[in-house]
Structure 1
């Protein structure tokens, strides 16, 4: 618990890439303990979010959109983790993951363009990637300050991007911003998982959270 709290503090002030690709039993136990503590953390965030929903009559999310189990539980965690947290580690493949998934998020999901448009955009982005990878030294890791900036930018962007799931009106704007801030806090935990254990673990945890939310909101 002490290590968990110290890591959460570090993700806010001094994020570091901890990943060890050799998964020992001790590391696997650590992953499950962080997932368990993360679920408690998200349960608390969910409790306060529901409290705000009820006190200020903020409509529940996803009521204004028709979202399938596949999109919400299976696709969204992968696309969102690649869009917002792949880039936290500097490498060619993570940069490609970021630009391809983020472009899909914008053109395929938010703007709902035909997939043909997305493929055209992806082709342009791939050409851009070919150009950029020659200009950027991917072997040189991010500085601590760069990682800190990327964590904060990705977390706030991730949190406030969820505003599209709500019917927005002026009378609920302030409580809605508070709810979105809870999502920002959740994003910091996902960033912690990504930096400490890797993308697969943050995607797995995201699966669990989205599955829980899908079940709750579709009762």
Structure 2
């Protein structure tokens, strides 16, 4: 199986790797994804404190980190008893992408099938394969729900841009959540949003 770390137990290798990935995400944001958006003259990626009202800042720094971590990564413990907490994600996906009900339903059915098939092989923990698939699924969904951040007319292009902008960060937060815990991923999510708003305030 896999090893789990808990928050603040002095695991310096995890803290160091988290910090390195954090810096990598910021570099990726400003040297890869942002230049792509600038090339296509897309708006919505450069929000800073001056662009948000008090409610917007409160949402970005507190509400979003707490709710998004609970909904999208709360179940990523590796334990079977927590896995079905993925259902709220499926419901959100059905609501947002209602025009693609059949596709979403098929994906959701496949996930539930994997869970029950996996149950035949392990008792308390899900398998590595199901864990990795769940992390990838959750990260893609987390990325796609941000498609309205980009002010463009093409729905499919906005989905693609959402993957470009958010998928690396989503995978990173899933890693932090699994290795460190939900509190750690929530704090990291807050710091990421704070860093991006602050840097945007300086450079844009």
Q: Structure 1: where are the runs of 5+ without partners?
A: 1-15, 111-135
Where do 1:1-219 residues align within 5 Å?
17-21=2-6, 23-25=8-10, 27=11, 29-47=12-30, 48-61=32-45, 68-88=56-76, 89-90=78-79, 92=81, 95=84, 102=89, 140-170=124-154, 173=157, 177-178=160-161, 180-217=163-200
Measure the CA separation in 2 of the matches of 1:171 and 1:103. 20
1:83·1:99 contact (CA, 8 Å) conserved in 2? no
- Once the two structures are TM-superposed, the CA of residue 172 in structure 1 deviates from its matched residue by 9.3
In the superposition, relative to structure 1, how do residues 217 and 60 fare at CA in structure 2: closer, same or farther (>3 Å)? farther
Q: After TM superposition, give the deviation of residue 188 of structure 1 in Å.
A: 1.3
Superposition deviation, residue 215 in structure 1: 2.9
Structure 2 CA distance for partners of 1:103 and 1:182, relative to 1, 3 Å? closer
Question: Post-superposition shift, 1:150?
Answer: 0.7
What is the TM-score when the length of structure 1 is the normalising length? Answer: 0.63
- Deviations 1:107-163, CA, capped at 9 Å, x for gaps: xxx8xxxxxxxxxxxxxxxxxxxxxxxxx9996311222112211110111111110
Q: What is the rounded CA distance, in whole Å, between the counterparts of 1:91 and 1:70 in structure 2?
A: 34
Once the 2 structures are TM-superposed, how far is the Cα of residue 95 of structure 1 from its aligned partner? 4.8
Secondary structure of the equivalent of 2:75? helix
Residue 214 (structure 1) shift: 2.8
What's the Cα RMSD here?
Answer: 3.8
